[in-house]
Amino acid sequence: MKNKTNLQRRTLLKYAAIGIAGALTYPSWAKTEGFVSVNRPSADFFPDVEIELTMNTAEVSILKGEKTKVWKVTGKVIKGTPEVLDNNEGTYLAPTLRFKKGQKVRLILNNNLPAQSILHWHGLHVPSNMDGNPMYAINHGETYIYEFEILNRAGTYWYHAHTHSVTARQVYSGLAGLFIVSDEQEQALKLPSGDFDLPLVIQDRSFDGQNQLVYSAHMMQRMQGFLGEQILVNGRPDFVLPVATRAYRLRLLNGSNSRIYKLAWDDGTPLTVIGVDGGLLEMPEQHNYVMLAPGERLELWMDFSERAVGTELNLRSLSFDVASHGGMMGGRGMMGGGMMSSVSTLPSGSNYPLLKIKVARKEQGHDVLPKMLTPITALQIKHAANANNPRTISLSMRHMSAQLNGRSYKMDDIQPDEIIPVNSLQVIEFDNGFNGGMHGMMNMPHPMHMHGEQFQIVKREINSHSGDSYASVSSGFIQHGWKDTVLVMPGEKVTVLKPFNDFKGLFMYHCHNLEHEDMGMMRDYLVK
Ligand code: C2O
Ligand code: CU
Ligand code: CU
């Protein structure tokens, strides 16, 4: 194991714009008793906030009765105020971290797990060697030191394990948490804060008779993606949220391995969307339902001031059709009755509740939803370096392979079309069988994610065969704002504009269906 990791790091140094000083010789510098750091803190980096995060095995109470064995990240503030860290004690969730734009942070990651692992900061614009590429996985007993400045605008970001071929299993075991950034522009809006600014992490899990997590990765589960039988919110089943009669800011993260949600309030109240992956929109948008794929975030404004104490409201996932015509799998009919019936008692695309809200007390809020949130400059194709020559990433899935442009993930395998000039704007198209899928291809939605800076969605195009199923999801896409993950439906092509500023080196792009990612639907790009 050790040798493999050494080799991986050495390989990466070939590409790293800023090498890790001393990575080849493994200095025995150790910050924490018992852990040996594979890299050194920089002498000229003066952190505003310093946090030590330790990954460990743990037992938490999720269901009644026996405790559940999980993998838990626990944090300790070394420098900074206590509000930067909430350990989410008693749950498997990794700590919620709260930073301000412009802060310099040092995160000291200790691995006390019986396996290799590494954490990635999803949605953050950080140097390549601070991004948690699987090449940087550390062994039990090792420490990785991350140092970076928070360059992102205010938003609901997150972090999770990104270990080669076992990301799905590690995230499922608990290695994921929220990374919330605030900034002055956002603070000036005086949105509901404190107890009225609530993160809601939505995940699905299956348990055995002893209350232990079940993760099966049989062929079918991997092709479709693992679907748990029970919805957990913030690590809890049957989640009930007591609220006061005022407005709330709800921050939703789909932290599930593969499950896609079609979110709606069950009394027909439209969802008021104020933010997406990369922070607030320019102005609020109303949708009857919103699609939320793995990796995506959504910020909602919800005002309970007109509701009577004692009333209830549910957030549900509504039914939708994930298959395009001619698809081999993924359709509800097939999963509900036929060959997929053993996969989950809660099929993808069925109708089920996610969480219950109870209006519990009266409170005067005086909250007014701002008409304008934060200004966003729309990126323009004509400013892209490849304005007339979009980079196409075609998504394909067949038999046991899930590929991007016909290639599976491989370390140290940058192809010419994966090299991107630093400080350029690029047009990128994710093509999910838009130009007629190849024979034998499985039609599935793929939530496509790119590391590094956030992108903007330019357009969505759907081919003529996919209209009917597409109609069951299409008004649930948010086209505005900054994104790092976009759901690409069967038969669809999504064009995005993404800047590649500041940092050279390797960054990843992949499907955020974690089983697909582990099956190889992931590649590195090299910014140089
Ligand atoms: Cu959230 Cu590379 O992923
Ligand atoms: Cu990411
Ligand atoms: Cu996928």
For the segment 89-123, what is each residue's pLDDT rounded down to a tens digit? 999 999 999 999 999 999 999 999 999 999 999 99
Q: Whose CA is nearest to atom 3 of ligand 1?
A: 122
Query: What is the model's pTM?
Result: 0.92
Per-residue confidence at 11, pLDDT binned at 50, 70, 90?
Answer: very low
The CATH H-level (homologous superfamily) assignment of domain 2-187 is Cupredoxins -  blue copper proteins (2.60.40.420)
Kindly give, in sequence order, each residue whose CB lies less than 8 Å from that of residue 208, ignoring residues fewer than 6 positions away.
214
Question: Residue 168: phi, psi to the nearest 5?
Answer: -60, -50
What's the token pair of residue 496? Answer: 């995005």
The predicted pLDDT at position 243 comes to 98
DSSP assignment of 357-421 equals EEEEE---------S-----PPP-GGGSTTTTSPEEEEEEEETTEEEETTB---TT---GGGEE-
pLDDT at residue 466, rounded to an integer: 80
Q: Do domains 194-361 and 381-527 have the same CATH topology?
A: yes
pLDDT for 337: 33
Q: Which atom of ligand 1 is nearest to the CA of 508?
A: 2
Residues 444 and 459: their CA atoms lie apart, in Å, by 20
Q: Phi then psi for 11, rounded to 5 degrees?
A: -55, -45
Q: Is 162 in the pocket of ligand 1 (CB under 6 A)?
A: yes
Report the C-alpha dihedral over residues 505, 509, 513, 518, rounded to 10 degrees. -60
In the chain, pLDDT over 90 holds for what percent of residues? 82
297 lines ligand 1 (CB under 6 A): no
- Looking at the predicted structure, is the pLDDT value of residue 12 above 80? no
What pLDDT is stored for residue 32 in this prediction?
Answer: 59
Q: What is the mean pLDDT of the chain?
A: 90
- Nearest C-alpha neighbor of 263 from the set 293, 242, 235: 293
Index of the ligand 1 atom closest to the CA of residue 510? 2
Confidence of residue 26 (pLDDT cuts 50, 70, 90): very low
pLDDT value of position 23 = 39
Predicted local confidence at residue 24, as pLDDT: 38
- Number of Cβ within 10 Å of residue 505's Cβ equals 23
Question: Is the C-beta atom of 295 inside 6 A of ligand 1?
Answer: yes
Q: Which atom of ligand 1 is nearest to the CA of 485?
A: 1
How sure is the predictor about 330, in pLDDT bands with cuts at 50, 70 and 90?
very low
Pocket lining: 510 vs ligand 1, CB cutoff 6 Å: yes
What is the CB-side half-sphere exposure of residue 475 using CA atoms within 13 A? 11
Report whether pLDDT(88) > 80.
yes
The string of pLDDT tens digits covering residues 371-392 is 999 999 999 999 999 999 999 9
* Alpha carbon of 120 to ligand 2 centroid (Å): 6
Q: Which ligand is nearest to the CA of 225?
A: 3
CB 426 within 8 A of CB 525: no
Distance from the alpha carbon of residue 487 to the mean position of ligand 3, in angstroms: 9
Q: What is 381-527's CATH number? A: 2.60.40.420
Q: Please give the distance, rounded to the nearest whole angstrom, from the Cα atom of residue 71 to the centre of ligand 3.
A: 25
Task: Give residue 9's pLDDT.
Answer: 54
Does ligand 1 lie within 6 Å of residue 120's CB atom? Answer: yes
Atom of ligand 1 nearest to the CA of 158: 1
Are 274 and 300 within 8 A, CB to CB? Answer: yes
Domain range list for the chain: 2-187, 194-361, 381-527
18 pLDDT band, cuts 50/70/90, is very low
- Give me the pLDDT at residue 323, please: 62
Cβ neighbors of 82 (< 8 A, separation 6 or more) are: none
One-letter amino acid for residue 453 of the chain: E
* pLDDT tens, residue by residue, 276-329: 999 999 999 999 999 999 999 999 999 999 999 999 999 999 999 976 434 444
| Spatial separation of the C-alpha atoms in residues 148 and 429, rounded to whole Å | 30
Task: Give the integer Cα–Cα distance in Å for 68 and 462.
Answer: 43
First to last CA, the chain: 30
* Ligand minimally distant from the alpha carbon of residue 223: 3
In this prediction, residue 440 carries a pLDDT of: 67
Centre of ligand 3 to C-alpha 391, Å, is 19
CA of 517, closest atom in ligand 1: 2
* Token pair of 379 as six digits: 């990126």
Q: Whose CA is nearest to atom 1 of ligand 1?
A: 122
Which atom of ligand 1 is closest in space to residue 295's alpha carbon? 1
Residue 238 pLDDT exceeds 60: yes
Q: Sheet of 505-511: strands edge to edge? A: 419-420, 522-527, 505-511, 446-450, 485-488
Backbone angles phi, psi at 24, to 5 degrees: -75, -25
Q: Provide the CATH topology of domain 194-361.
A: Immunoglobulin-like (2.60.40)
Does any ligand 1 atom lie closer than 6 A to the CB of residue 449? yes
The answer to whether residues 372 and 282 touch, using CB atoms and an 8 Å cutoff, is: yes
CA of 133 to the centre of ligand 1 (A): 9
- Alpha carbons 255 and 170: distance in angstroms, whole number: 12
Is 505 in contact with 365 (CB distance < 8 Å)? no
